C-alpha cells in the first residue's frame, strides 16, 4: 500500500499507540513515525523496541513536521497537551486522538488549535486489559470498529485520509455525533467497567469470605470481571470524570433494573427470572454473528 502520511506522530506510547505503530508499519501506511511519552521509562522502552523511527523527549519535537498527530494520553491530560503542541503543529496537519470519550476531548482540545489544523477525534473500539508500549500488537484493530466524530465544518479530505488509515490497520470505520458516541460507549464500555470494578472491590472487601477463597473459586464467573477491572486506573478515572452524564444515566437504568431482579429473588418469582435470563441470550448470538466475539466456549480461553 502507498503511504497515506509522510510522518505520523504519537503523543503517548501505551497499548493503543504501540498497536497503531505496529499496524502502520506492517501495512506501510506512513513513511516515518515519531513518538513521545511523558515517562522517561516508557521512552526508553520504546527506543529499545524500535517502536517508531524516532522517540523524542518532548511532544513539541515529536509533532513538528508531522502530517498526522495522534493523541494517545489519558483524557485528563488532553487540554494541557493541546496547549503545549499547538504552536508546533504543521499547517494542514490532521490531529486526532484515541480517547474513550469524545465530546469532552473536543471541548478540551479544539479551542487551543490553530485554524490551519484539521481536528478529527476518534476512538478505536479495541483493547486489552494490558497497558504500556510492550502491550501493543498489529492485529488489535482487525475487524474492530473505529468511531470518528468529525466536528461540523471538518475537512472532507482529511477525514477521508484518516478513514483510510484505520481501514489500512484492519478496522471498520463509523462516523458519529460525539454526544451519541458517549452514550453508546456508556452502555458498551463505561458502565460495564464500573460494575466490574465494583464487584471486584466488594469481593476484596468481605470479612466472611477470604481473598484466597475468592481467588480459588473465581472460575465460576468472577474471574471474567477481574480482567476488565485490571484495566489502567488513570485512563478509567478520566473516562468517568469526562463522561459523567451518560454514565450516570445508564447507571440509573442499571440499578433500577437490578432492583427489579432483586425483588424477584426476594419474592421467589422464578417466572420473571427465567424470562429475563432467556432474553439476554439473543444479544450474545448477535455479537457472535457480527464477528465481534468468538463462539468458542469460555472465549476459547488459553489454559493457564
Within 261-280, the residues that bind a copy of itself by CB under 8 A are 261-262, 264-266, 268, 270, 273-274, 276-280
Contact 267, 132 (CB under 8 A): no
φ/ψ (deg, to 5) at 127: 165, 175
Q: How far apart are CA 3 and CA 231, in angstroms?
A: 33
Give the nearest distance from C-beta 113 to a copy of itself in angstroms. 25
Under the criterion CB under 8 A, does residue 50 sit at the interface with a copy of itself?
no
Around 158, how many Cα atoms within 13 Å sit in the side-chain half-sphere? 23
Give the nearest distance from C-beta 210 to a copy of itself in angstroms. 9
Between 44 and 142, CB nearer to a copy of itself: 142
Q: For residue 107, how many other CB atoms are within 10 A of its CB? A: 13
Around 108, how many Cα atoms within 13 Å sit in the side-chain half-sphere? 22
Q: How far apart are CA 166 and CA 173, in angstroms?
A: 7
Per CB under 8 A, which of residues 70..99 are in contact with a copy of itself? 76
Between 57 and 107, CB nearer to a copy of itself: 107
Give CB contacts under 8 A, 24+ apart, made by 281-289.
none
Under the criterion CB under 8 A, does residue 49 sit at the interface with a copy of itself?
no
Give the nearest distance from C-beta 224 to a copy of itself in angstroms. 5
Under the criterion CB under 8 A, does residue 130 sit at the interface with a copy of itself?
yes
Under the criterion CB under 8 A, does residue 182 sit at the interface with a copy of itself?
no
Under the criterion CB under 8 A, does residue 16 sit at the interface with a copy of itself?
no
Beta bridge partners of 5: 30
- Residue among 59, 85, 147, 159 that touches a copy of itself (CB under 8 A): 147
Under the criterion CB under 8 A, does residue 201 sit at the interface with a copy of itself?
yes
Amino acid at each position: 500500500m502507498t503511504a497515506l502520511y509522510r510522518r505520523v506522530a504519537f503523543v503517548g506510547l501505551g497499548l493503543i499507540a504501540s498497536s497503531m505503530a505496529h499496524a502502520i508499519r506492517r501495512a506501510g501506511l506512513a513513511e516515518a513515525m515519531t513518538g513521545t511519552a511523558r515517562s522517561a521509562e516508557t521512552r526508553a522502552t520504546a527506543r529499545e523496541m524500535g517502536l517508531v523511527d524516532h522517540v523524542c523527549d518532548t511532544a513539541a519535537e515529536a509533532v513538528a513536521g508531522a502530517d498526522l498527530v495522534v493523541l494517545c494520553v489519558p483524557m485528563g491530560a488532553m487540554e494541557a497537551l493541546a496547549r503545549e503542541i499547538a504552536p508546533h503543529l504543521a499547517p494542514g496537519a490532521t490531529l486526532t486522538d484515541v480517547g474513550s470519550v469524545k465530546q469532552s476531548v473536543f471541548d478540551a482540545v479544539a479551542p487551543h488549535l490553530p485554524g490551519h489544523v484539521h481536528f478529527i477525534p476518534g476512538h478505536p473500539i479495541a483493547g486489552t486489559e494490558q497497558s504500556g508500549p510492550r502491550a501493543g500488537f498489529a492485529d488489535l484493530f482487525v475487524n474492530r470498529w473505529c468511531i470518528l466524530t468529525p466536528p461540523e465544518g471538518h475537512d472532507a479530505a482529511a477525514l477521508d485520509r484518516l478513514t483510510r488509515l484505520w481501514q489500512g490497520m484492519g478496522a471498520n470505520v463509523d462516523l458519529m455525533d460525539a454526544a451519541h458516541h458517549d452514550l453508546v460507549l456508556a452502555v458498551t464500555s463505561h458502565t460495564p467497567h464500573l460494575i466490574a470494578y465494583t464487584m471486584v472491590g466488594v469481593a476484596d472487601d468481605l470479612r466472611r469470605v477470604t481473598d484466597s477463597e475468592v481467588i480459588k473459586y473465581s472460575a465460576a464467573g468472577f474471574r471474567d470481571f477481574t480482567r476488565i477491572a485490571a484495566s489502567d486506573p488513570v485512563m478509567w478515572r478520566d473516562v468517568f470524570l469526562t463522561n459523567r452524564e451518560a454514565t450516570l444515566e445508564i447507571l440509573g437504568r442499571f440499578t433500577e433494573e437490578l432492583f427489579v431482579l432483586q425483588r424477584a429473588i426476594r419474592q421467589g418469582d422464578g417466572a420473571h427470572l427465567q424470562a429475563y435470563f432467556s432474553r439476554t441470550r439473543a444479544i450474545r448470538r448477535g455479537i457472535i454473528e457480527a464477528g465481534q466475539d468468538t463462539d468458542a466456549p469460555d472465549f476459547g480461553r488459553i489454559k493457564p
